[in-house]
Amino acid sequence: MRVAVLSDIHGHLPALEAVLAEVDAAGVDAIVLNGDLADGPLPAQVIDRLAELGERTIWVGGNGDRWLAAAFDGTFQPTGSPADAWMTWGAGQLSQAHRDRLAGLPLTVTVDVDGLGPVAFCHATARDDNEIILVDSPVQHYRDAFAGLREQVVVIGHSHMPFERLADRRRVINPGSVGMPYGHLGAAWALLGPDVVLRRASYDVDAAARTLAASTMPGIEEFIAENVRAVPSDADALAVFTQVARDQAGQRPAPS
């Protein structure tokens, strides 16, 4: 079993198409969609495109997918982020079938991968689809976040930055983001089996900008400027996310 991992597409159809061209050339057996798939400029179109891939796809839920379904239901609780407007708008682009697919996604899945054995996939951590864990997070954070897993290889997403590290003998891999990469241009993904290869697909920036500009998503001009024509620095993103991780840790109940 060789597996392609696509995470954090965020409704960016041109980036998705660029990655799928490379995935097809790689001849993988399965494609794991590791959360935050549709919240972005072209939510319905991305869900439909992923559905076309058929039975070789394995879907995993992210916080954005959960929030989109909640916005469709009218139960979304705003987070205070500028992305809140995406949820309300994006829910209006979805059909009931789209909503039902997103609402039913699992928090974790396990796949046997050649050369790696059982691999657990989750969008953020094994206990929370919105928990920030970073390449430089303390080992104890990794122990706690994945304490419920037996698998010694875990693939995550959520932070939009590709990395691989060991944390108390557990191998943790983040493929980065297809649609909203930090620190580099291009659409990030990973190829697993028998090795781990972090990949990056390039695409026509001008053509992608034209496609996305047809979206009526609030802030579409900023999305194009900050995720297609340029991208945030990984150092800046780490600084922001490190503070978020500290805030989350302060809100989490102490282990009993």
**Percent of the chain having pLDDT more than 90?**
96
Domain spans of the chain? 3-251
Lowest model confidence (mean pLDDT) among 153-167, 172-186, 242-256? 242-256
User: Do β-strands 187-192 and 3-6 pair in parallel, antiparallel, or remain unpaired?
Assistant: antiparallel
pLDDT at 255 over 90: no
Model confidence pLDDT, tens digit, residues 54-97: 999 999 999 999 999 999 999 999 999 888 999 999 999 999 99
Distance, in Å, from the CA atom of 80 to the CA atom of 103, rounded to the nearest integer, reads 22
Strand ordering across the sheet containing 153-155 = 108-113, 117-122, 153-155, 170-174, 163-167
Which class in CATH covers the domain with range 3-251? alpha beta
pLDDT of residue 214: 97
Instruction: Show Cβ contacts of residue 37 under 8 Å, excluding neighbours closer than 6 positions.
Output: 9, 10, 11, 46, 47, 50, 59, 62, 64, 65, 102
The pair of structure tokens assigned to 32 is 């794991």
pLDDT of residue 252: 86
pLDDT at 50 over 90: yes
Q: Are 155 and 192 in contact (CB under 8 A)?
A: yes
